[in-house]
Amino acid sequence: QQQVKQSPQSLIVQKGGISIINCAYENTAFDYFPWYQQFPGKGPALLIAIRPDVSEKKEGRFTISFNKSAKQFSLHIMDSQPGDSATYFCAATIQGLIFGKGTRLHILP
């Protein structure tokens, strides 16, 4: 019940395409859902986050879609660029972030 399941494990997208990463959770007590971006050799950096009372949040090319009834949320990266190539983690909070296992995204130039 504490898990956050993330898919896919890896993703290859052409430059300019849309990258979509999905996460699902079970615990309805989670109240904050961030996405983190991690480059090799660096710690994760907060990218965008959403609360369950909102169905969508957009910041630049990054959008979170949240489906409370399905207990799913997803990250969409529009106009994907080679600089977006990184590992992305979804997470949910309950006294410490519970992370998904990550998606390694590679954008082809």
Among 47, 84, 100, 107, indicate the residue that binds other proteins (CB under 8 A).
Answer: 100
Helix or strand or coil: residue 83? helix
Restricting to residues 48-77, which ones interact with other proteins according to CB under 8 A? Answer: 49
Q: For the chain, what is the total number of helices (H) and then of strands (E)? A: 0, 11
Output the smallest distance, CB 76 to other proteins, in A.
21
Residue 73 C-beta-side C-alpha neighbours within 13 Å = 29
What is the C-alpha to C-alpha distance for residues 64 and 77, in angstroms, rounded to an integer?
A: 9
> In Å, what is the CA distance from 97 to each residue of 21, 32, 61, 107?
18, 9, 24, 27
Check residue 89 for interaction with other proteins (CB under 8 A): yes
Check residue 86 for interaction with other proteins (CB under 8 A): no
Output the smallest distance, CB 104 to other proteins, in A.
11
Check residue 93 for interaction with other proteins (CB under 8 A): yes
Output the smallest distance, CB 75 to other proteins, in A.
16
- Summarize as ranges the residues that interact with other proteins (CB under 8 A): 32, 34, 36, 41-46, 49, 89, 93-102
